[in-house]
Amino acid sequence: MKRNTFIFTTVGLCCAIFDTSAWSVNNFLMTGPKAYLTYSTSVSVGAHSGIEECKHQFNWERWNCPESALQLSTHNRLRSATRETSFVHAISSAGVMYTLTRNCSMGDFDNCGCDDSRNGRVGGRGWVWGGCSDNVEFGERISKLFVDGLETGQDARALMNLHNNEAGRLAVKEMMKRTCKCHGVSGSCSIQTCWLQLAEFREIGNYLKIKYDQAQKLEMDKRRMRAGNSADSRRTTVETFSNVLTTELVFLEDSPNYCMRNASLGLHGTEGRECLQGGKNLSQWERRSCRRLCTECGLRIEERKIEVVTNCHCKFRWCCVVNCLDCKQTVTKYYCSGRRAMSNKTRRRNRGPKR
Ligand SMILES: *[C@@H]1O[C@H](CO)[C@@H](O)[C@H](O)[C@H]1NC(C)=O
Ligand SMILES: *[C@@H]1O[C@H](CO)[C@@H](O)[C@H](O)[C@H]1NC(C)=O
Ligand SMILES: *[C@@H]1O[C@H](CO)[C@@H](O)[C@H](O)[C@H]1NC(C)=O
Ligand SMILES: *[C@@H]1O[C@H](CO)[C@@H](O)[C@H](O)[C@H]1NC(C)=O
């Protein structure tokens, strides 16, 4: 079941990213169809890993990075400009840059390799640059071309997306780590060579999740924008964005109430979602998941006993078979379910939007 969903996501993203009309605008920037083909797998693998990370980071949140959120292309009329949109853009753009950079260091592309531009220079006390630094400049350049190329508009939303794409790419750079190797007489480590290496993508996800929590809402002066001519209003918009650090995520609209199903926004609501309860090893955040997803959304927590079959009592028989028994095990899972059990009063009290 999981696997099917996974494949579906890949297809969805491939087509959002490679929307043909979006691509054609951008096409002339590359040296032709060959360049497009060279990087296209990487770009779509990268966008996909961004989305997987999004799903991980938002696993126990009301908004859990649903498919409907993943339309990066401006051609999607539904696109929103919420805090969540800002994360989707940053993490996708980071994912694309990350994969391109990694591919480059692995020697997957003819025209690119490690960044050895600093090699041989002294980097600091006791160390010199050496080895294979990940070529983030390459990853940055190509991913910018592909991902930013999807933004064809000039309005505040387009600027917001471009800003968050950039923040995602900066996160990849920001998180790079210096890795060193010792040299010197019998491993004395009197001198080291060091290079810069990409962090684990998970760390970039964690970092951007914090940026998401701190994201800034930009208030566009709608009246002034309407009153002025379009060049004026564009200048005002650009100015508003230039006041924000590129490392920070920005958004324009408040989030809708993610508790509630809203078909026109493509939101499923939290009814039917699984949450975690009672596990010994849960983080604070996980431990509160039933409250956040169910109770505070006016839903009740339903306990379901589910029988799972696992391989157990496996025995190795010489030679060479493994015999196992099927063991049935009952696990308890928790889900948010219908509003029936709630009184009208309680329901009203819990209705307020809450992140
Ligand atoms: C880039 O890396 C990804 C995963 O690491 C891999 O699936 C893909 O095939 C690589 N792309 C190229 C062009 O080698
Ligand atoms: C869905 O969201 C839109 C926009 O926020 C809102 O106007 C509409 O009332 C919502 N619909 C429902 C059924 O909540
Ligand atoms: C509990 O969490 C720790 C660290 O996250 C992990 O090392 C350990 O294996 C977990 N224990 C169980 C029973 O899952
Ligand atoms: C809840 O309120 C509605 C009207 O607001 C009423 O029709 C319904 O009977 C109430 N349900 C309960 C369980 O009190």
**205: Cβ–Cβ under 8 A, 6 or more apart, which residues?**
53, 54, 56, 57, 91
Pocket test for ligand 2, best of 262, 267, 270 (most atoms within 8 A of CB): 262
- Residue ranges of domains in the chain, CATH in brackets: 2-117+134-175+201-255 (no CATH), 274-349 (3.30.2460.20)
pLDDT digit string, tens, across residues 97-110:
999 999 999 999 98
Backbone angles phi, psi at 178, to 5 degrees: -85, 130
Across residues 176-204, what is the average pLDDT? 91
120-to-130, 137, 191 alpha-carbon distances in Å: 6, 19, 12
Is the C-beta atom of 103 inside 6 A of ligand 1?
Answer: yes
Among all bound ligands, the one having the nearest atom to the CA of 286 is: 3
Q: Which atom of ligand 4 is nearest to the CA of 344?
A: 1
Q: With 0.85 as the threshold, say if the pTM is over it.
A: no
**Residue 190's pLDDT is what?**
86
Q: Euclidean distance between the first and final Cα of the chain, in Å? A: 29
- The pLDDT tens digits of the residues spanning 35-83 come to 667 888 899 899 999 999 999 999 999 999 987 766 554 445 556 899 9
Residue 315 confidence class, pLDDT cut points 50, 70, 90: confident
In the predicted structure, residue 224 carries a pLDDT above the cut 70: no
On the CB side of 47, CA atoms within 13 Å amount to 27
- The pLDDT of residue 221 is 67
Question: Of the ranges 70-74, 181-185, 276-280, which one carries the lowest mean pLDDT score?
Answer: 70-74
pLDDT value of residue 70: 63
Ligand having the closest approach to the CA of 339? 4
Spatial separation of the C-alpha atoms in residues 91 and 88, rounded to whole Å? 5
pLDDT of residue 249: 97
pLDDT computed for residue 14 by the predictor: 38
